[in-house]
Amino acid sequence: MKTKIILGSIVIVIAFIFLFFNFMESKIEYGNFSQAIETKSKIQVKGYYVKEKNKNYNTNKNEFNFFMKDDSGKILQVVFKGAEPNNFELAESIVVKGIYRDDIFYASDILTKCPSKYEGDSTSIKKTLQ
């Protein structure tokens, strides 16, 4: 009877430790490129695609490269292992999750915020109300 209780307790403790480390790994803070450079740990950065600079998709490496400007105005090259996200060109803003290394931000995820199709044009609303 005691061995079952001891084994059960060990399994529960291991499960809590596993869940704690998974939670800490998934907790990624927001910041800007300057903070990413300082911390050198995984961070989320919100910004905007710089259309004036080239973007590139390398099919051999399955790698998407583009330049992004964060909210503080700093521009960095972003490298993402994967294809260009849908509606990337139309995105109002972009959030990249990743790490800074060697003057490049290596993104593990890219999230795009596209204009809502449910938001109306303010001028057409004013005309309708008049």
pLDDT of residue 2: 85
Query: Which tokens sit at 40?
Result: 């050198």
The residue ranking higher by pLDDT, 28 or 118, is 28
Phi, psi (rounded to 5 degrees) for 129: -75, -20
pTM: 0.69
Residue owning tokens 């809502």: 116
Decide if pLDDT at 124 tops 70.
no
Give per-residue pLDDT as tens, 53-112: 989 999 999 999 999 999 999 999 999 999 998 888 888 899 999 999 999 999 999 999
Continuous segment of H or E residues that includes residue 58: strand 56-58
Decide if pLDDT at 115 tops 80.
no
Yes or no: domain 29-113 corresponds to CATH 2.40.50.140: yes
Whether the CB-CB separation of 44 and 109 falls below 8 Å is answered with no
Query: Which tokens sit at 30?
Result: 């927001």
Q: Where are the domains of the chain?
A: 29-113
